[in-house]
Chains A and B, each alone.
Chain A
Amino acid sequence: GESVGLHLPTLSVQEGDNSIINCAYSNSASDYFIWYKQESGKGPQFIIDIRSNMDKRQGQRVTVLLNKTVKHLSLQIAATQPGDSAVYFCAGDSMDTGRRALTFGSGTRLQVQP
């Protein structure tokens, strides 16, 4: 089916450490994946995206890794800061169903300890 889900609901890290947030997806036809950050009381905010023809993409302090073989996506945040505390969602497209909209996973809450 078409679902995007996460392994852990909460991740707690120390400030300055690196964070890794994981996501599994089931739709092998998904061509495009995005990570979003959502702070309390706000809408999701785009972090980084990756297409299925890539296995790695880097942004500012963030890296997304895509393993199509095991249908796994991860978001790595370097030198995690208190401002990174939020809920992180992965999302993928559903082009095989014709739906031109993203399907979101259930999220991981990142807590950064000072």
Chain B
Amino acid sequence: GVSQNPRHKITKRGQNVTFRCDPISEHNRLYWYRQTLGQGPEFLIYFQGTGAADDSGLPNDRFFAVRPEGSVSTLKIQRTERGDSAVYLCASSSWDSLYGYTFGSGTRLTVV
């Protein structure tokens, strides 16, 4: 499946954090979503291969994601704010199933 780590991250406001996503190996599409309590996942960014095909969901320039070799992706948040607290979900899909997402269990970020 899709593996994410860490599962939980508690950080102080102003610190930087990095999350990792290992997608299903044969999937070439990778997505990051953010989910707050009681809400559905909110789109952040989508990769096809190594390139970010759509990063229009990133809320501001403190958020940055890469997928340098077309497999593992990292999502970085700089100068965290309390409003960044959420579960960050990664999903992947294959070339022949655009919306056939397989989600990871997510990384729960708490900014204190």
Q: Which residues of A does B touch, CB under 8 Å?
A: 4, 9, 32, 34, 41-46, 49, 89, 91, 93, 98-107
Q: Number of residue pairs across A and B with beta carbons under 8 Å?
A: 56
Q: How far is the CB of A109 from chain B (nearest CB, A)?
A: 9
Q: A91 to B35: give the CA distance in the assembly, Å.
A: 14
13 CB contacts below 8 A, A to B, read A43-B89, A43-B91, A43-B104, A43-B105, A43-B106, A44-B89, A49-B99, A99-B46, A99-B56, A104-B41, A106-B38, A106-B39, A107-B40
Q: How far is the CB of A97 from chain B (nearest CB, A)?
A: 9
Closest A-B pairs by Cβ, 7 of them: A43-B103, A104-B40, A101-B43, A89-B40, A104-B41, A101-B46, A44-B103
Chain A interface secondary structure, helix, strand, loop or mixed? strand
Q: Which residues of B does A touch, CB under 8 Å?
A: 2, 31, 33, 38-43, 46, 53-54, 56-57, 89, 91, 98-106
Known A43-B2, A43-B91, A44-B103; contact A101-B54, beta-carbon cutoff 8 A: yes
Q: How far is the CB of B18 from chain A (nearest CB, A)?
A: 19
Q: A91 to B39: give the CA distance in the assembly, Å.
A: 12
Q: Do A102 and B101 have beta carbons less than 8 Å apart?
A: yes
- With both beta carbons as reference points, the residue of chain A lying nearest to B57 in the complex is identified as A101
Q: A82 to B28: give the CA distance in the assembly, Å.
A: 36
Q: Which residues on B sit within 8 Å (CB–CB) of A44?
A: 41, 89, 101, 103
Q: A105 to B40: give the CA distance in the assembly, Å.
A: 5
